Amino acid sequence: MRGLSKAFGGLQAVRAISFDLAAGEILGIIGPNGAGKSTVFSLIAGQERPDAGDIAFEGRAIGGLRAESIARRGLVKTFQTSRPFSSMTFLENVMVGALARRVGLERARAVAMEQLVTVGLADQAHSPAAWASTGQRKRLEIARALATAPRLLLLDEPFGGVDRPSIDALIRLLAGLRSDGMTLLLIEHNLDAVHRLVDRVLAMHLGERIAEGTPQAVTADPRVVQAYLGASEPAHA
Domain map (residue ranges) of the chain: 2-74+150-236, 84-145
Q: How many angstroms separate the CA atoms of 60 and 123, rounded?
A: 40
Evaluate if residue 81 carries a pLDDT over 90: no
Q: How many angstroms separate the CA atoms of 209 and 79, rounded?
A: 22
Task: For residue range 87-118, list pLDDT tens digits in order.
Answer: 999 999 999 999 988 889 999 999 999 999 99
State the pTM of this model. 0.90
For the ranges 42-56, 72-86, 135-149, the lowest mean pLDDT is seen at 72-86
Write down the pLDDT at residue 233.
54
| Residue 158 contacts residue 170 (beta carbons within 8 Å) | yes
Q: How many angstroms separate the CA atoms of 6 and 183, rounded?
A: 25
Mean pLDDT of the 24-39 span: 95
Largest CA distance in the chain: 58
- 82 confidence band (pLDDT: 50, 70, 90): confident
Q: Where are the alpha helices (DSSP H) in the chain?
A: 37-45, 67-72, 90-99, 105-119, 134-146, 164-179, 191-197, 215-219, 222-229
- 231 confidence band (pLDDT: 50, 70, 90): low
Q: How many angstroms separate the CA atoms of 14 and 22, rounded?
A: 22
Top-level class of domain 2-74+150-236: alpha beta
pLDDT above 90 coverage of the chain, percent: 84
